[in-house]
Amino acid sequence: MRNRLPGAALVTAAIVAVSLTPSAAVAAPPTAAEWISVATLLDQLRVEAPSTVKYDRDQFFEGADLDGDGCRTRQEVLLEETDIPATVTGVCTITAGQWLSYYDNVIHLDPAAVEMDHLVALKEAWVSGAWAWTDAQRQGYSNDVDDDRTLTMVTAAVNTAKADKDPASWLPSYRSIRCTYVSEWVAVKWRWNLSVDPAEKSALQTLLTDCGPHRDTWLPAAPTVGRPSAPPLPEPVAVHRFWSPVYQGHFFTTDLAERDQIIARWPGVWTYEGQRYTAFKTQVAGTIPLYRFWSNQYSGHFYTADPAERAAVIARWPNIWKEEGVAYYVYPANSPQPGTVTVARFWSLSAAHHFYTADAAERDAVIARWSRVWAHEGDSFRVPAAGIPAP
């Protein structure tokens, strides 16, 4: 039996009352030395945007019989979590028992009424780092019966509602158990070295604050397959810039094919100025999308990292500016990320174009020499400082 409840369980009235007989096999609680603050574990988790690598559930090899005793993972968890001796037929067919779905505080006697839930769903694990794991690590995670917190039996409908949501978008309906739920969430992520996204971490911090200053859990052990390493971060790529004396505007791209096509096909329209800075093709921790628009009317592009500005352009000028999607990923203008510099934005009323530069000397020269042509609008976003060529 796994006891997650803070006190006596409240059995839902719709369930037939039964005598609660604890299983004889109750694991001894960890010693005091093995307990650790949940907030400490949370602070040790990487904060990263979810991976955009395509999710493949088949790579988790669910339902294995890792110890070769004839019981697959679902049966192992059913046997572990029943509060009374289970009825077992054949090799490992479980036909009866008593399972408390702690998400909604409902007791079930029929194993068909409960489903095995990965507390941190497989898809959530994937986007948080499992995309880069070995096959053995993904199989170890999806069949992890060595830590009580990874897998649990819950009401089938509740499992469906939870799906792959994190605590920022889903919490158990049984409020008295929410502190346990978020504590176990953090422990599972720590055990498997998974990241949290910014919204997820913020939600967890708020929930743990409400749980009180001394919320502890027992320190997770390293999985038998080894604690996975953090996935490698993608390297920033070059952002190339063109200038058009015809249109009096600039064009930026990270796409080498697009760059080469422009150089080959329109040399009289666009002058290639080389790499101007670097950015990320995929989203990494702390970055946000930079959106690109094209205007046939102005024969130029417009870039913004401000969601409100993007929404306003889409809503107010749909016939002038066509959104082309995410150009690349950058850091917000107010980001404290070390090793970055700001990208200044200018607007020219006469040219009807924006101008962007990560070069402080170029920015200052434009302000000093062409202030009547280019109005300085301030810092638009930040990019890695290492990617800016010498003047």
How do residues 332-388 score in pLDDT, each as one tens digit?
999 888 899 999 999 999 888 999 999 999 999 999 999 999 999 999 999 999 988
SS (H, E, C) the chain: CCCCCCCCCCCCCCCCCCCCCCCCCCCCCCCHHHEEEHHHHHHCCCECCCCCCCCCHHHHCCCCCCCCCCCCHHHHHHHHHCCCCCEEECCCEEEECCEEECCCCEEECCHHHEEEEECCCHHHHHHCCHHHCCHHHHHHHHCCCCCCCCEEEEEHHHHHHHCCCCCCCCCCCCHHHHHHHHHHHHHHHHHCCCCECHHHHHHHHHHHHHHCCCCEEECCCCCCCCCCCCCCCCCCEEEEEEEECCCCEEEEECCHHHHHHHHHHCCCCCEEEEEEEEEECCCCCCCEEEEEEEECCCCEEEEECCHHHHHHHHHHCCCCCEEEEEEEEEECCCCCCCCEEEEEEEEECCCCEEEEECCHHHHHHHHHHCCCCCEEEEEEEEEEHHHCCCC
Q: Dig out the tokens for 181 from the structure.
A: 């739920």
Distance, CA of 12 to CA of 178 (rounded, Å) = 17
Round to whole Å and give the CA distance between 360 and 159. 53
What's the rounded Cα separation, in Å, for the pair 267 and 329? 28
Cβ pair 177, 103 in contact under 8 A: yes
- Dihedral angle sign, alpha carbons of residues 184, 56, 230, 139: positive
- Would you state the structure tokens that stand for residue 129, as one six-digit string? 């780092």
Provide the CA 74 distance to its chain's centre, in angstroms. 27
Please identify which residue in the block is written with the tokens 């999985």.
223
Nearest to 200 by CA among 169, 230, 159, 171: 169
Distances from the Cα of 12 to the Cαs of 15, 100, 174, 175, in angstroms? 6, 10, 11, 14
Mean of per-residue pLDDT scores for the chain = 88
Average pLDDT estimate for 22-37: 52
Mean pLDDT of 235-251: 93
Arithmetic mean of pLDDT, 130-153: 95
Per-residue pLDDT band for 2 (boundaries 50, 70, 90) equals low
pLDDT (tens digit per residue) in 327-336: 999 999 998 8
pLDDT score of 316 more than 80: yes
pLDDT confidence bin for 10, thresholds 50/70/90: very low
Closest CA relative to residue 232, chosen from 346, 110, 132, 363: 132
Q: How many CA atoms lie within 13 A of 39 on its CB side?
A: 11
pLDDT beyond 50 at 82: yes
Do 9 and 20 meet the contact criterion of CB atoms below 8 Å apart? yes
Residue 383: per-residue pLDDT: 96
Query: What pLDDT does 287 receive?
Result: 87
**Does the pLDDT of residue 391 top 80, yes or no?**
no
The pLDDT value given to residue 4? 58
Residue 202 has pLDDT above 60, yes or no: yes
SS (H, E, C) 33-71: HHEEEHHHHHHCCCECCCCCCCCCHHHHCCCCCCCCCCC
Task: Give the Cα separation of 8 and 54 in Å (integer).
Answer: 43
Rounded to an integer, what distance in angstroms lies between the CA atom of residue 19 and that of residue 17? 7
- Give whichever of 19-28, 32-41, 85-94, 116-125 has the largest mean pLDDT: 116-125
In DSSP terms, 348 is beta-bridged to 353
According to the model, what pLDDT value does residue 68 have? 86
pLDDT interval class at 48 (50, 70, 90) = confident
**For the whole model, what pTM was predicted?**
0.67
Q: Give the Cα separation of 20 and 172 in Å (integer).
A: 23
